[in-house]
Amino acid sequence: MNTMISHLDPRSVARATTLLATLILIAADCRDSALAQGSLIPPGPPAPTMKSLNQIEPHTPIPSFDYTISQPGTYYLTTNFIGVYGGIQIQADNVTLDLNGFTLAGGDANAVAVVGNHVNICIRNGTIRDFPDDAVVVGSAQRVSLESLQVFNNDGAGILAGGGTRLYCCNVFSNTFEGVFAGAGSQVLRCDISGNQAFGLLVGAGSTVQECTLRGNGGPGVEAPGSCRISGNSCTRSEEHTSELQ
């Protein structure tokens, strides 16, 4: 054995010794680092890291039918309001009113009214019926969206809206006066506006009416200026009064 070692190059022996010492130091560092990490057992169950919808955008329940919305936000129904005095008034910008699948029926005036020149209003997802006046009155509000509403049997118009209104998937029928009036630049898409005693739909200049059903209204099914785009609609037992049908 000593004879074999004596034949090794002294430089090779020194290099091997240095490498061995380096490996020992690396192993010691790894051991110390592993020990410094602490226990791998979690201190408790995982905590939620996602924010709730209410934390992102506060949602406010509407406690009674006689209610005024005066601050931006999302408001929603938690029950039906039937034959109850009052109405919901919106007096703020950036408001979403979610009927949440519930019904407003038989109050003493308008069901929902936007009061003033407000912007960014959304009313959606519910039934409005049997009111003694116009059901939904948007007035001069701008950038209004009306979605998935059932509006019928009201002793007035179904929906009266200003310019730039978007109606999507609404059913408006059997109202004593007009079904829907929407001002200039409005969009009426995939709606059923039928059986109203006056005209079905009247829109202002530059509006779009697409994929709607308009039938059995007492007046014209669609009445619109020639600057409107009217396409893909079904009109039966109603007239279309417009100079630009597509």
Would you give per-residue pLDDT tens digits along the chain (246 residues)?
444 444 556 665 566 566 666 556 555 555 555 555 556 666 667 666 665 555 556 799 999 999 999 999 999 999 999 988 889 999 999 999 999 999 999 988 899 999 999 999 999 999 999 999 999 999 899 999 999 999 999 999 999 999 999 999 999 999 999 999 999 999 999 999 999 999 999 999 999 999 999 999 998 899 998 899 999 999 876 555 553 443
The per-residue DSSP string of the chain comes to -HHHHHTS-HHHHHHHHHHHHHHHHHHHHHHHHHHHT---S-SSSPPP-SPPHHHHS-EEE---SSEEE-SSEEEE-SS-EES-S--EEE-SSSEEEE-TT-EEE--SS-SEEE-SS-EEEEEEEEEEE--SS-SEE-TT-EEEEEEEEEEES-SS-SEEE-TT-EEES-EEES-SS-SEEE-TT-EEES-EEE--SS-SEEE-TT-EEES-EEES-SS-SEE--TTSEEES-EEESS-EE-S-B-
| Residues 11-42: tens digit of each pLDDT | 655 665 666 665 565 555 555 555 555 566 66
